[in-house]
Amino acid sequence: MRHRELGRTGLTVSELGYGAWGLGQGAWVGADDDSGVRALHRALDLGVTFIDTARAYERSERVVGRALRELPGGGDGVVVATKVGPRVPVSLATSGLDPMETFPGSHLRESLETSLRELGRDHVDILQLHTWEDEWTGRGDLLETVAALKEEGKIRFFGISVKDHQPDNVLAVLRTGVLDTVQVIYNVFEQAPADALLPACEEHGVGVIVRVALDEGALTGAIRAGVTFPEGDWRNWYFRDDRPAEVERHVDALTADLGIGTDELPSAALRFALAGQAVSTVIVGMRSLANVERNAAIVGQPPLTAEELAVLAKHRWVKNYYS
């Protein structure tokens, strides 16, 4: 497992991070506490040192906390990041609201205290906002509270998880110097962050945490016309109507261009994300031991060549299945 510097924080993190949304047992059907702990332990055994969770991920923080407590030293050396959601539903947290309605300092503090109890820790390494609107920059008491939480030792660093497919909606606050990290969707299909956000992060020493590198499964080759998911699984909504067939067409064109089979697609997708400018780690949901081992093996492979990256760059696809 290779490691990289996380921006200017002084932390080093594994290239493969553990995305713990699926451990919450809500949106992703089929998880349970015991299997989640086993998968997380295996990831740590294989060199993963970064875990990303959130207050909104139901049981996820609790499972992460249990997994770390069961390790010798309580998971010393593991970098844990969590997120605080807005006081209103994320879907309503838009530029039409004042930041004191979405992220007042009292809400940040209350959410963090709950996260610390669930995780069983006295601090988190990175506290991230779970959404953002750049017009909130400099308004409200958000940053004063962040500074106080750092002073109290309850958080070490502060970041923002950028809204889905809006990578430029964090540039103003990023340029103020208050951010230590940015988390963003970046993959073969969603390449927009490379236009402005990733260069800005490199310029300002902000660590980049990539999420959705496999596009919720679209870049694994498993999403094809007629695919089904368990009842209650959120992917029934994400890949609704004719979307699986649309994904299949794009994937077939991509693999044909690269001259690979769909079984090799996850490798190309993860290595593409890791090639992004200023990228420190790529978080992947891995609820099974098999997926943990597969992804850990992938990040140990040589980087993609310039020719391969050029082919993948041609497959930029402007879409947003979250809407």
> Based on the structure, what is the number of domains in the chain?
1
What confidence category does residue 319 fall into, taking pLDDT thresholds of 50, 70 and 90? confident
User: Residue 14 contacts by C-beta under 8 Å, 6 or more apart in sequence?
Assistant: 1, 2, 3, 47, 48, 49, 50, 281, 299
* 224 part of a folded domain: no
Instruction: Please give the residue range of the domain that contains residue 297.
Output: 3-219+274-302
**Token pair in block for residue 116:** 């610390």
CA 16, chain centre distance (Å):
11
> What one-character-per-residue DSSP string does 176-193 give?
TT--SEEEEE-SSS--GG
Q: Taking residues 267-285, report their average pLDDT.
A: 96
Report the candidate in 108, 111, 176 with the shortest Cα–Cα distance to residue 148: 108
- For the entire predicted model, the pTM comes to 0.95
Could you read off the pLDDT of 69-93 as tens digits, one per residue?
999 888 889 999 999 999 987 777 7
* 237 part of a folded domain: no
Task: State residue 26's pLDDT score.
Answer: 66
* 190 part of a folded domain: yes
* 308 part of a folded domain: no
Q: Taking residues 91-116, report their average pLDDT.
A: 89
Flag the least confident range among 43-47, 99-103, 109-113: 99-103
Could you read off the pLDDT of 134-171 as tens digits, one per residue?
999 988 899 999 999 999 999 999 999 999 999 999 99
* 157 part of a folded domain: yes
Task: State residue 196's pLDDT score.
Answer: 98
